[in-house]
Structure 1
């Protein structure tokens, strides 16, 4: 992965006014990816959006990292169920067209 696609964790923490320990908690729960290059820790640029969501949940709703883990797991399940429902609707439409 190219260096220019990585964001320094300390820079993110300063920008969003969060503690590095909060980021470490998210990492320990498997919610974010941290890459280490020459003993410096980074987050991939494409993962910053997820981190921003977690920060908003933490700051606006005062949810701890464990709660954020639960929320993100539920959101993944909802997304999966929506995809399954869309697939089922599509198959049902095809079935109706075939049997007309």
Structure 2
């Protein structure tokens, strides 16, 4: 079983000059997964690119968290659709 690596929420927030409540809110919206170990909160390493992308939408473009949630869900849906389209194209090429 592979062990997951984590980054402290405090460390992440200090590096991005944001409050830890922002990450808590992202977790409440289901946008970023946060793990609690001992008395500290951690973000899995695999979630970091997603968390940084969401932060850019929220801080750089000044989009509220509800809007970020909608945008994130739509982008995930587009990605799944593109993956399905590629899979179906590959399947179709077998019959050509």
- TM-score by shorter chain over 0.5: yes
The structure richer in helix per residue is 1
Q: What do residues 58-85 of structure 1 show as CA deviations (whole Å, max 9, x unaligned)?
A: 1121111111111111111111111121
Tell me the C-alpha RMSD between the 2 structures: 1.7
Contact 1:35–1:41, Cα closer than 8 Å, also in 2? yes
* Structure 2: runs of 5+ lacking an equivalent: none
TM-score, length basis structure 2: 0.87
Matches within 5 A, 1:12-91: 12-91=12-91
TM-score, length basis structure 1: 0.84
Runs of 4+ with deviation above 6 angstroms: none
Deviates more, 1:87-96 or 1:11-20: 87-96
Q: How many residues align?
A: 95
